[in-house]
Amino acid sequence: MVRTRFCDVFGVEHPITQGGRQRVGRAELTSAVANAGGPGLLTALAQPMPEDLAKEIARCREMTDDPAGHLPSFRAGGVKRRGS
């Protein structure tokens, strides 16, 4: 097994991260990666609204206690707002 400073800093077993995956970077994949020993990352761009991202983060927290995070993203041309 390879042990690096990254593992120590982020509290993970493996120094391999899950990159952003726009359509599949959701709680299921993120928690699976975290449970396997790597840092899982939710893709914010996969969520239509900030409230949806908050719900997806909550779902992920229910699926794992291991390190997971999210990748903040910005759509070109600004954020699409409800009702616009």
Q: How far is CA 72 from CA 1, 42, 46, 47, 82, in A?
A: 31, 9, 10, 11, 19
Domain boundaries, the chain: 22-71
Could you read off the pLDDT of 16-73 as tens digits, one per residue?
A: 877 777 778 889 998 998 998 888 888 888 888 888 889 999 999 999 998 888 877 6
What distance in Å separates the CA atoms of residue 74 and residue 84, rounded to the nearest whole number? 17
- Evaluate if pTM is beyond 0.85: no
What backbone torsions phi and psi does residue 20 show, to the nearest 5 degrees? -65, 130
